[in-house]
Amino acid sequence: MLLHSARSCLHIGLRWTARSFASSPSASVQNFNVTNPYQVFDRQVKRMQRDRAANLDGGARSTTVDYVRNEVADRLMERFMDIKRQFDTIVDLGSGPGHFTKLLEPDKVKKSIMIDSSSATLHRDPDSEFEVDVERIHADEEDLLQVVKPNSHEAIVSCLSLHWVNDLPGVLIQIKEALKPDGIFLGAMFGGDTLFELRTALQLAEMDREGGISPHISPMTDTGDVSNLLGRAGFTLLTVDIDEVKVAYPSMWELLEDLGHMGENNAVIGRRNCIKRDTLAAASAIYKELHANDDGTVPATFQIIYMIGWKPDPSQPKPLERGSAKVNLQEVL
> Which conformational region is residue 94 in: left (phi greater than 0), alpha (psi within -120 to 50 degrees), or beta?
left
Q: How far apart are CA 112 and CA 118, in angstroms?
A: 17
pLDDT at residue number 33: 44
CATH T-level fold of 43-196+219-246+302-314: Rossmann fold (3.40.50)
What pLDDT, in 10s, does the model give residues 184-226?
999 999 998 899 999 899 989 988 888 766 656 655 677 778 9
User: Collapsing DSSP states into helix, strand and coil, what is residue 89?
Assistant: strand
C-beta of residue 45 within 8 angstroms of C-beta of residue 251: no
44-54: buried (b, 16+ CB within 10 Å) or exposed (e) per residue? eebbbbbbbbb
The answer to whether 245 and 319 have CB atoms below 8 angstroms apart is no
Specify the pLDDT at position 5.
Answer: 33
95: nearest Cα among 104, 86, 87: 104
Rounded Cα gap, residues 13 and 2, in angstroms: 6
All residue ranges of the chain with pLDDT < 70 are: 1-37, 212-220, 273
How confident is the model at residue 22, as a pLDDT? Answer: 40
Distance CA 163, CA 15 (A): 5
Q: Kind of pairing, strands 153-159 and 179-190?
A: parallel
pLDDT at position 24 is 39
How far out from the chain centre does Cα 236 lie? 21
DSSP string covering 162-220: GGG-S-HHHHHHHHHHHEEEEEEEEEEEE-TTTTHHHHHHHHHHHHHHHSS---SS---
